[in-house]
Structure 1
Amino acid sequence: MLDWQDLQVFLEVARHPRLADAARRLGVDHSTLSRRTRRFEQRLNTQLFERSTHGYRLTPAGERLKVHAELMARHADDATDGLVDHNLRLEGQIRLGVTEGFGTWVIAPLLSAFCRRHPGLTLDLLALPRVVNLSRHEADLAITIERPANQGLVTSRLCDYRLKLYAADRYLRQHGAPLHRSELSQHPLIGYVDDLLFSEQLNYLDPLLAHRREDTKAHFSLRSTCVTTQMMATESGAGLGVLPCFMAAGRAELRTVLDHDVSIDRQFWVTARQEQRQLTRIRLLWDYLREALALNQDFLMGRQSQLVMPDDDPGSDQASP
């Protein structure tokens, strides 16, 4: 008979091929985890992993076992979750993946009230300049700027947000402001590195530069994969940058440029795997995010400059079916 603890160890290594990552999540050291995986293979008399300097890769036998182990883990989660008394303190871990700018400037401060409502829960916030892969179990929930195409995911539109063109006071004093989109090519610009864009939704500047003359070429003073870096460069006077209002609206040094001509609306989506969406702790965070961002629609659209914090009353969190 297989030992459930051995299967949990196997599954963690299968999900996180770098042994150091799996060891950290399990709370054991690297050498202990290596010994346990080898001992498990010896009990089964089957090689489950191919080991290399790049990490652990599943063999065909390991792939077959992973399918069954994933199913067992899902049933274990469902069974545990079904026994939770809602009058008792919830415990456990939630990993939330979100884009770097939104995660840093909006989600992180908003989560403070959620943490106070549910002190037994641990939140891992992955604020990254890319999309987390839910199918590879990088996170339990994800907030994305595109609606995922994967039919196996539960997805809901979370909120709208707006971006505008900004410049620093010091830049405007020295160079003046463009009066029309056609003049943008005469100013140094700040934006993303084209070939490293993880979504076409981030390609803001090409449409704005469509008005330039054929014999002119846009000049970028600085490009970055990080929107926070772009904001700091804009604020320092390096050029004009397209920034989310939720980041730039409260910055004293920044001013909108071509305010009535440049206004870009985008959406955020919240998504989870079907089996994870049923867990109580995931439902609570899902519903809290919708609640908190509904309070902040004016902030996200640039109509107000301060984030509105939800109250700490846990009674206001109702998990949806």
Structure 2
Amino acid sequence: MDNWDDMRVFLAVARAESLSGAAPALKMDPATLGRRIARLERSLGATLFVKSPQGYALTDLGERMRDRAAEAEAHLVLARDEGQGASSGLTGQIRIGAPDGAANFLLPQVCAAIQAENPALEIQILALPRVVNLSRREADMAVTVSPPAAGRLTVQRITDYKLHLASRADDPALATREDIRGKPVVGYIPDMIFDKELDYLGDLGAQGVQLASNSVAVQLQMIRQSGIGIVHDFALPFAPELRRVLVDEISLTRSFYLVRHTSDRQSDRLNKVAKAIILGIHGEVARLEKIARLTDSPLI
């Protein structure tokens, strides 16, 4: 590659696997990107992508070049971070990927506090009902509910969190599991559960869901209308008309993890952001879960 700009274009298309997917980040139109990739391949005398209606797939050479280019990019990021190290506070842009439960009910408070202490820092929250793809640099780091099994990634456990069955406070009391029958169950769309840790039906003893969404926030709104469902304790303070039910019989524990590129562990800037995210989420889960516990008695 002749220059950094060629590498930037190549990496964006390789990660997006299409010209249209790479165009927004590069602020170029797909036709221009197509010409840039064609020019790059001519200069190398080799094919980097297999083009098809489904997109741009890397050839074997393209995959090797992507890995090398990604390493070079990581070193450039480290060099930039060292240059910014002398400034007061954190600067630049950070994108954090997360499942929408954490993205809706935890990260807004956590990120606002971090940004308030670092006015020159721009924080973006990428809320997705699926696993964030760090290898394609969809985000700088990601909050997950399971540690990844593969990839050049490092994992830090953030905290455990609790989930319980919840219903409207003005619904008739549920005294036993048998009372669940006949009530519409709210949960995930079964074929869109992207992590086994999000499959709660076995714990609930339900055969299926009558009201479903791939979004935790939408599920919460559904329960506010009618029905019952498994809810994060840290989300309950945002829906005061709901209460936890059958607390002693149905109680789930899951964990959050912070996942990062291994190469980014050398970046003091990203290490500081990661530490702040971990401490912030840990503290926010504890604070909100305490509120959820305190509201049990008055609602029951």
Q: Provide TM-score, normalisation by structure 2.
A: 0.88
Task: Give 1:317's aligned residue.
Answer: none
Q: 1:246 aligns with which of 216, 234, 244?
A: 234
CA 1:37–1:151 in 2, change beyond 3 Å: closer, same or farther? Answer: closer
The aligned amino acid for 2:44 is L
Residue 249 of structure 1 deviates from its aligned partner by: 2.8
Task: Give 1:205's aligned residue.
Answer: 201
Corresponding residue SS for 2:290: coil
Residue 67 of structure 1 deviates from its aligned partner by: 2.6
Task: Give 1:212's aligned residue.
Answer: none
Task: Give 1:154's aligned residue.
Answer: 154
CA 1:149–1:167 in 2, change beyond 3 Å: closer, same or farther? Answer: same
Task: Give 2:257's aligned residue.
Answer: 269
Task: Give 1:192's aligned residue.
Answer: 188
Residue 243 of structure 1 deviates from its aligned partner by: 0.5
Is 1:220 aligned with 2:220?
Answer: no
Between stretches 85-94 and 117-126, larger displacement belongs to 85-94
Corresponding residue SS for 2:254: strand
CA 1:178–1:86 in 2, change beyond 3 Å: closer, same or farther? Answer: same
Q: 2:290 aligns with which of 273, 290, 303?
A: 303
Q: Partners in 2 of 1:151 and 1:50 — Cα distance?
A: 24
Residue 181 of structure 1 deviates from its aligned partner by: 1.6
Task: Give 1:258's aligned residue.
Answer: 246
Task: Give 2:225's aligned residue.
Answer: 236
- Superposed, which structure 2 residues align to 1:42-191 within 5 Å? 42-88=42-88, 90-150=90-150, 152-170=152-170, 172=171, 176-191=172-187
Contact residue 185 and residue 218 of structure 1 kept, 8 A: no
Q: Partners in 2 of 1:74 and 1:97 — Cα distance?
A: 19
Q: Partners in 2 of 1:169 and 1:81 — Cα distance?
A: 50
Contact residue 89 and residue 117 of structure 2 kept, 8 A: no
Structure 1 residues 213-254: Cα deviation after superposition (integer angstroms, max 9, x where no partner): xxxx746331222111111111012x1111011112342321
Contact residue 187 and residue 219 of structure 1 kept, 8 A: no
Corresponding residue SS for 2:203: helix
Contact residue 85 and residue 269 of structure 2 kept, 8 A: no
Contact residue 157 and residue 269 of structure 1 kept, 8 A: yes
- Unaligned runs of 5+ residues in structure 2 are 294-300
The aligned amino acid for 2:257 is W
Structure 1 residues 177-214: Cα deviation after superposition (integer angstroms, max 9, x where no partner): 221123322322111222321122112231232xxxxx
Contact residue 41 and residue 48 of structure 1 kept, 8 A: yes
Residue 260 of structure 1 deviates from its aligned partner by: 2.9
Contact residue 94 and residue 281 of structure 1 kept, 8 A: no
Overall identity of the aligned pairs, in % = 34
Residue 270 of structure 1 deviates from its aligned partner by: 0.7
Larger helix proportion, structure 1 or 2? 2
CA 1:77–1:267 in 2, change beyond 3 Å: closer, same or farther? Answer: same
Corresponding residue SS for 2:204: helix
Q: Partners in 2 of 1:119 and 1:206 — Cα distance?
A: 45
Segments of 4+ in structure 1 off by > 4 A? none
Task: Give 1:316's aligned residue.
Answer: none
The aligned amino acid for 1:190 is V
- Superposed, which structure 2 residues align to 1:275-290 within 5 Å? 275-290=263-278
